[in-house]
Structure formats: structure tokens, C-alpha cells
Structure 1
Amino acid sequence: MVDWKLAVATASRLARPGPEIGREEAREVVAELRAHAAAAEEHVRAFTGMTTAEGHDTPVLVVDRPGWIEANVAGFRSLLKPLMTKMRARRGSGPAGVITGAVGGKVTGVELGVLLSFLSSRVLGQYETFAPATRELPGAPKDGGRLLLVAPNIVHVERELGVDPHDFRLWVCLHEETHRTQFTAVPWLRDHLEAEIQAFLAETDVDAGTLLERLSDAVQAFTGGRRGDSATTGTEAEPGARSGAHPTGSAPDARGGDTDGRSLIDLVQTPAQREILARVTAVMSLLEGHADYVMDGVGPRIVPTVVEIREKFQRRRAAGANRLDQILRRLLGLDAKLRQYRDGERFVRAVVDEVGMEGFNRVWTSPNTLPTAAEITRPAEWIARVHRSPEP
């Protein structure tokens, strides 16, 4: 169904070259990122009170853009394996099915490669949790997992912003190390997210005709065209790059072309998938907002120029590089991810202000204590449910 090798080759070939940097400077950047990651680990754990569970420690990998691409393809391949099996069974084993699968796999491989090439120059860091551990991609002993720091992208952004490079690298590591701490201190979190994603994939309509019709409706909605006999349905949530996104409100009408800020990914989902992604969105908003909150809490004590960095980075996040970049961000749902950061951070801040860090950390007790999509925007409801109700 997907030619994974072609996806890697396409993405690596199309990925833009990184900033010009000498070999010695590159070594220094890699060494500094590793040192900052180790230092950030201690600061994050002291600030949050979270510690790594036994057997769940994970490595920090400093990678280039092709390395990030290979790690994400490995993660996609692992996550999508059940869906691929389902689609192969639906296709059948006759000659027509084999030919269709071979051609479709090439097409899908190229499409995935194009998407990853776009994202590979934008990601500063990522906690990749789903790819199995290998010699080339080491991970946690029990269930994989590794922190990826994309060195050329970090150097590119620090130069673009004109900020102190050493401070910026530490600042990035604080955010990403918080994600690593979340998954290593809360072992059930990975399995919970994987179960939700697999439930989402299980609801995928594998009938090509139906999927294409739904995609056509989505395109009509974005272009303001008319089908005359149907209206696209929107979604309450959408996935970002291994993350999730943000509730987006009521369903649009394709005949009027009103997508209400939704992405193409949004508009081809089924109602059952929208419910699942609403839950995933809430979790990912929590994780991203928690990372931003920790970064802001620790940063002023150890990053001298944190105010300048934060201000310039926020402006960069909001603006986008150019018109094409803004369009692609919307189509891929990346604009919703920015809202996810803001809503999640507001939730964490409100809860900590009310019940303290120890009280906030009850969020990690079990899946039942995670906030719902509604509670992310109304933290008082989470506090009432978790802190003023019997123990979950």
C-alpha cells in the first residue's frame, strides 16, 4: 500500500539543504545539543517533580533532516501496519489487485515523501515514540522511544531570528526534554495514544471510491465549489505531525466553501474518527501546553536571553515564512497546532495556579484523569472532576 523506501528516497531528495556550516562547527553544535539535553533533563524533572520510570529511559539523538525523515517513516510504518494488512485483505490477491497495489504504493510513497520533505525543514525537535528500536534508531529497552533534535533546523532558526545560539539551543532542549520526561515518567501514555490511533485507523474507510468522493467534497469546500447534493462534514480535531490538534467548531457547508479553518485532513474524516481525534487533541494539547509552561517556568533562571527568544519565536510561529507556507500549513492542519500550544498552556497554568504542581500532576494518574477537549478550554471543570470528586 505504501512504498516506504520510495517515501524515504523522495523526502530525502526533495528536502531543502540545511544552512552552510563547517565540519568543526557542526561537531560543536551536536556536542552542545547533547550537553544541553542532559542539563535540561535535570531542570525539567526538578521543576515538574516527574521522574523516569524504571526501564523507560530513552536516548537523545541529534539528527539531520534525512535522519528525521527515516525515523518518522519507521514510526509511520509501525503505526500503519494493521491498516495496511486490512487494506491488502480488502484488495485481494488477484493480478488486478497486485498491479493496483504496486502502482498505488508508488504513488502513496511519493506523496508521503513530499509531505515529509516539507516538514523536515520545520521541525526543531520531536519525541518519536512508535518506531521500534534498531541499531540505526536506538530507543527505550521496553517499547522504543527517542528524543530527536534536528540540528540543521535549530541552527537555521537561531540564525534567522538573530538570537544567541547557545541560549536558543538550551531553550529548545527545555521544551523537547519536557516531552521526553512526559513519556518516560508516565509509561502508560504511549500505549494509550497508540490505542487511540489504532482505533482511529480501524474506522478508516478502505473503499477507495468512498474515500475519493469524500476527498472531492473536501476540495470543493476549500475552493468554494458546489456538489449540489452534499455538504462536507467538519471535525472537532485534527492531527498534527505526530501530535494532534485543536477543536475547530461546527461543520462547514461545502456549497458555501466555508471550512472554518479546517484542513483537508479534517474534512475526509468520519464521525467516529472525529470523536477519537477530539480525545487525542485534548491529550496533545496537554502535552504541548505543559512543555511550553515548563519552558517558560525554567527558562528565565537558566537562559539569559529567554524574553527576546520567546518574543521573536512567537512572531515567527504566527507569521509563517510566505504565502505558500501559509497555505500548506492550513492544508496540513499545522495552524491548528499553534492554537493547541496556546490552549494547552493556558490549561496547565490555570490548574497549577489553583492546585499547585503536585495537584496538576494528578493528570498523569491514568487515562481517566486526562482532560477532555472541553476541559482543556475550561480547566475549572477538570479541577472539579479530578480534585473534588472521589479518587479516580
Structure 2
Amino acid sequence: MTSIGGAEMVDWNLAVATATRFVRPGPDVSRDEARAVVAELRRHAKASEEHVRAFTGMIPEGSRPQDTPVLVVDRAGWVRANVAGFRELLRPLLDKMQERRPGGAQGAVLGAVGGKVTGVELGMLLSFLASRVLGQYETFAPASRDLPAGDPAHPGGNGGGRLLLVAPNIVHVERELGVDPHDFRLWVCLHEETHRTQFTGVPWLRDHLESEIQSFLGETDVDPMTFLERLREAAQSLAGARPEGEEDEGRSLVELVQTPAQREILGRLTAVMSLLEGHADYVMDGVGPDVVPSVAEIREKFQQRRARGASRLDLALRKLLGLDAKLRQYRDGERFVRAVVDEVGMDGFNRVWTSPNTLPTKAEIAKPADWVARVHRRAES
């Protein structure tokens, strides 16, 4: 465990405990209702496999891709999985910050309270996010008894991944939107199953993403006090402790980007995430009409919910955490996928998964015709 002055840089256990304590309570459901929701989500996840694979053509019929588990979790389960993933991904950055820890009194203060403070602040942020995520394909956390993963021998490496479906959040949103719960649950599963298909059908994708993230973190040149200050700003926004009127001035955590190399890597990561999220949106709506009768109503209401946010606090935190950028990724990525499929068909679009070199750039996400020209004309010449 990384430490400063003999104390942990991030108290991960405290982060989990804090998030679990402060996360909003889930919707009111009986024990029998909860069991029924879990069982239905598992059925829908299984059914979504065939729907998504048939629609995308990413996994040839008869092939046996990596099998990864489906975990229906509560909000605390989502927190634990993500803390485990963050712990792995942030290890190189925290090691670097450990080497740069200040000496003297400042180092002593950080050593005494830094890990606890950071653990609490990270936990507060996770408590905010834990009530908003419907599902996730988590691929970075090591496999454990409570967090099983795919076959470690698979080319994806490091234990594969797992599909998380956050049952209380799905129930909360379906009630809030007033949509058919069975249709909505299947619709969500189609989106998340697309992410599982992306990673199981493209063996190099997980390692490529990790390599890019580690390259980004390796370029980070930030002192521990600045890192803690940014986390503190986020936690203060969540607690409503910032002065009135400051919400709109909040800085995103991604503003830790400092070097040209980081900006270049971040551009590539943004393009990949736009592709993955937009592709999942395109697939869930493409499959939808055949298996989700009320898909048009669900999509319209869900888009309205995405766009409006919940409150000034919610908007401030979305900006601070970079969630506004994530919303743009859904929109821009879906437009890219739709334009490419319209131009060259699904098989033509699937050339995007050939290698890292055929992934779209950030500029090509905005101009799909440029990607078609680059990838298809080069392949045909």
C-alpha cells in the first residue's frame, strides 16, 4: 500500500466505509420484490448476449468468447468493486506521489492525516456516484471471492472482467420515468451487455485501455497537496460547504492534465470512450424495437433525464467530476457509429475493432467520414 511518511496515501477501507455510510438509500422494495428484480436482471443479461452478438456481428457464430460473470449488486457492492479498480489503476500515480512527498512539517502532516482525509473524500464522491450508475463492465479490479472475473488465461489478461448491474438504481430510474419496468430492465441490460461484448469480443481492448491510462498517469506531474486539494474541492461541493456562487467555478479533476503528452493521451482516451458508449447506445436502440416494445418511450424519457440533471449541486459535481464530458461521449459516439454504419454497414463499422490503429481519433468522432476514408480507402488500396 502506498504511503506518505509511513501512513497510507489513500485509506481505501475508509473510502468504502464512508461511501457505504453516506450513499442515499435505495427505493423501497420488499424482500420478495428484490429477489424478483435480481432474477429478472439475470435473465435479461443472459438473453441480451444473443441479441447483442447477433446485431453487432462482433463475435462470430459458434465461437466461444471469454465468459465473464454477471453480478447484480447493490450500491455498496458497486462501491467496493470500483474502489478495487481504482486501487489498481492509481497505484503508479500514488507511487510517484510517494516519491515526491514533501519533507519536514508538511510531510509529517500529510503522513498523519493525508490517507484518512483522502479516504473520506474519495468515499464521499463514490457515495454520490453510487446512486446514479445503472450498470458497468468493470475490468481492472483483481479477481476475488466477492468480485469474480473471467478466465485469467484469456488474452485479455489480469483476470478478465465482470458485468455489474446496480439493481436499486435501475428500479429507482424506472419508477422515476414511469416506464414499463420489464422493458426498461431489458433495455439497460442491452446497453451493458454491449460493453461486455466489446471487451470479450476484442481481446486487445482491455490491455490497450490500461496502457493508455498508465501512460497518462505516468506523465502526471502533480504534488500530493494539489491532488488532495482537488479531492477536497469535490467533497466540499458534495457537502454544500463551498460559498454560494462558487459552484460554477469548480474545476474538473481532469484539469490535472498538464503536459502536451497527457493532452494527446487524453484525446485518444476520450475518442475510445466515446466510441464504446456511443456504440452501446446505438446497439441498445437498434436491438430494442424487436425485443423492447416501449423502447421509443424509454429512450425519449431517458434522454430528457440525462439532459436536465437534478439540481445546481448535481450540475456542479457533474462538471467537477467530468461527467458532462461523459454525457457528450454518449451523444457524439452514437452519432459516429450511426453515420459509419449508414455509410459502410455493420461489417464495415466493425473494422474499428481490428487494432488500436483503426480506432477513431477524437477528430474523427466529430467527422465520421474522415474515419471511413482513412480506414476503408487504406484497406482497399
**What's the TM-score bracket when you normalise by the shorter of the two chains?**
0.7 to 0.9
Structure 1 CA distance for aligned equivalents of residues 72 and 31 of structure 2: 15
Identical pairs, percent: 75
Q: Is the 8 A contact 1:138 1:144 kept in 2?
A: no
Residue 177 of structure 2: aligned partner: 161
Q: Quick one: distance in 1 between partners of 2:51 and 2:65?
A: 21
- Greater shift after overlay, 315-324 or 48-57? 48-57
Instruction: Check 1:42–1:332 CA distance in 2 against 1; reply closer, same or farther (3 A cut).
Output: same
Aligned length, in residue pairs: 352
**Matching residue of 2:256:** 268
- The Cα shift of 1:99 comes to 5.5
Q: 2:50 corresponds to which residue?
A: 42
Alignment of 1:170-249 (within 5 A): 170-208=186-224
Match of 1:356 in 2: 345
Task: Give the match for residue 121 of structure 1.
Answer: 131
2:378 is paired with a residue whose SS is: coil
Q: Give 2:114's aligned residue.
A: 104
SS at match of 2:100: helix
Q: Which runs of 5+ in 1 are unaligned?
A: 220-256
Residue 318 (structure 2) pairs with residue 329 (structure 1): yes
Q: Deviations over 1:211-241 (max 9, x none)?
A: 689x69x99xxxxxxxxxxxxxxxxxxxxxx
Aligned residue identity for 2:23: A
Is the 1:131–1:144 contact (alpha carbons within 8 Å) kept by the matching residues of 2? no
Match of 1:80, SS? helix
Amino acid of the structure 2 residue aligned with 1:288: E
Deviations 1:52-83 (Å, cap 9, x if unpaired)? 87562211100000000000000000111122
CA distance in 2 between partners of 1:82 and 1:67 (Å): 25
Q: For the structure 1 residues 321 and 207, does the alpha-carbon distance in structure 2 shift closer, same or farther, using more than 3 Å as the test?
A: closer
Give the 3-state SS of the residue equivalent to 1:180 in structure 2: helix
| Deviation per residue, 1:154-191 (Å, 9 max, x gap) | 00000011110000000000000000000000010000
Equivalent residue for 1:251? none
Letter matched to residue 372 of structure 1? T
Deviations 1:97-127 (A, max 9, x none): 4662341111111111011000000000001
Kindly provide the CA deviation profile for residues 303-352 of structure 1, in whole angstroms up to 9, marking residues without a partner as x.
01111111111100001112221221122111221111111011001111
Alignment-mate amino acid for residue 306 of structure 1: V
Q: Distance between the aligned counterparts of 1:212 and 1:80, measured in 2?
A: 14
Query: Which residue identity is paired with 1:329?
Result: R
Between the aligned partners of 2:204 and 2:380, the Cα distance in structure 1 is: 18
What is the identity, as a one-letter code, of the residue corresponding to 1:302? V
Secondary structure at the aligned position of 2:146 is classed as coil
**Conserved? CA contact 2:118–2:228, under 8 Å:** no
- The reply to whether residue 70 of structure 1 matches residue 86 of structure 2 is no
AA of the residue aligned to 1:378: K
Give secondary structure in 1 for the equivalent of 2:165: strand
> Match for 1:87 among 97, 102, 124?
97
Structure 2 unaligned regions, length at least 5: 1-8, 153-158, 235-245
Match of 1:286 in 2: 275
User: SS state of the match for residue 62, structure 1?
Assistant: strand
Describe the shift of the 1:78–1:153 C-alpha distance in structure 2 as closer, same or farther (beyond 3 A). Answer: same
Q: Distance in 1 between matches of 2:195 and 2:329?
A: 15
In structure 1, how many angstroms separate the alpha carbons of the residues matched to 2:338 and 2:350?
Answer: 12
Specify the alignment match of 2:288 in structure 1: 299
Indicate conservation of the 8 Å contact 2:222/2:256, yes or no: no
Q: Which residue of 2 aligns with 1:32?
A: 40
Selected match of 1:370 from 355, 359, 370: 359
* 2:241 counterpart residue number: none
Using the TM superposition, give the Cα deviation of residue 298 of structure 1 relative to its aligned residue in structure 2, in angstroms: 0.3
TM-score after normalising by structure 1: 0.84
Tell me by how many angstroms 1:91 deviates.
2.7
Q: Distance in 1 between matches of 2:130 and 2:115?
A: 22
Partners of 1:82 and 1:149 in 2: how far apart?
A: 29
Distance 2:138 2:355 in 1: 21
Give the residue type in structure 2 aligned to 1:60: V
Relative contact order higher in (CA < 8 Å, ≥ 6 apart) = 2
SS of the aligned residue for 2:360 comes to coil
Q: Does 1:340 align with 2:329?
A: yes
- The one-letter amino acid of 2:94's match is M
Helix, strand or coil at the partner of 1:149: strand
In the alignment, is the contact (CA less than 8 A) between 1:205 and 1:211 conserved in 2? no
> What TM-score comes out, normalization by structure 2 length?
0.87
